[in-house]
Amino acid sequence: MTGRLSHKLRTSVMRRQRGIAAVEFALVFSLLFFAMYGIVTFGVVLYTQQVVSRSAEDGARAVLRLGQSVQANDSRVQEVIYDALASALITPPEAGTSMAQKKAWLRTQMGSRQPPEITQQSAEQILVRVTYPYSASPVLPRVVPWSNGWMPSLLVGKAIAMRPAS
């Protein structure tokens, strides 16, 4: 009799242990998932910021190549900036796969809000400023509703082209 009772008791304890393991797995998996999501999201935002900064630098180099003929908000410099942005991995799949489709998507996203700015700071300095609306088109989808608080809405890249004094 005691053998059968202890067997039932062991079986009952083991059954309860399996339930505890499932609960522990659910809790640990949730924590790990949110930690990984945060790390990956931060990495993607950082990558996008680097792309925006690089596109501003490419615009500044274009200002130097074009020389004294560059005017405020020059379309040739803006074209170089859109080329740099379109060559990166920040456009969503629905934007298309060709460079022309990606550039059209970027013009729609950025141009309506804030196109790349080329402004003359002084006789020698020209500022190139690129503002990318990250919240309007994040690379990764928002999985958790509270992620809006720590994700930037705008990413800004600036570069100054120093022209030689004439």
**Predicted local confidence at residue 9, as pLDDT:** 66
CA–CA separation, 70 and 44 (whole Å): 33
Say how many CA atoms lie within 13 Å of 67 toward its Cβ. 3
- Mean pLDDT within 127-148: 76
% of the chain with per-residue pLDDT over 70:
82
Mean pLDDT of the chain: 83
| CA dihedral sign, ordered 141, 147, 148, 153 | negative
For residue range 49-60, list pLDDT tens digits in order. Answer: 999 999 999 999
- Is 126 in contact with 107 (CB distance < 8 Å)? no
CA–CA separation, 45 and 72 (whole Å): 29
Tokens 């969503």 — which residue?
Answer: 92
For residue range 2-18, list pLDDT tens digits in order. Answer: 566 676 666 766 666 66
The yes-or-no verdict on residue 156 having pLDDT over 70 is: yes
- Is 132 in contact with 110 (CB distance < 8 Å)? yes
For residue range 81-92, list pLDDT tens digits in order. Answer: 999 999 998 888
